[in-house]
């Protein structure tokens, strides 16, 4: 189970990096009218991934205490 925890955590970190890079590229190349949309969607995606990462870490700690 600990291995699964690390895999989920690594996937979440890689996705956070990909979302940040994609949002920066899109923000730079889209017209000004679309930049707000990119910021909003990017912020929601990052918030979602941070929540997944936080819940994964919390559940990993809870499992370790039970043993």
Domain segments of the chain as ranges: 2-66
- Is residue 16 within 8 A of residue 52, CB to CB? The reply is no
Summarize pLDDT for 2-59 with one digit per residue, the tens. Answer: 677 778 778 878 888 888 888 888 878 888 888 888 888 888 888 888 887 777 666 6
Q: Which residue has the higher pLDDT, 7 or 64?
A: 7
pLDDT at 16: 81
2-37: b or e for each residue (b if 16 or more CB lie within 10 Å)? eeebeebeeebeebbeebeeebeebeeeeeeeeeee
């Amino acid at each position: 189970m600990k291995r699964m925890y690390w895999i989920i955590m690594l996937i979440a970190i890689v996705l956070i990096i990909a979302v940040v890079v994609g949002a920066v590229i899109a923000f730079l190349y889209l017209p000004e009218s679309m930049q707000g949309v990119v910021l909003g969607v990017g912020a929601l995606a990052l918030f979602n991934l941070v929540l997944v990462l936080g819940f994964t870490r919390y559940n990993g700690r809870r499992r370790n205490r039970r043993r």
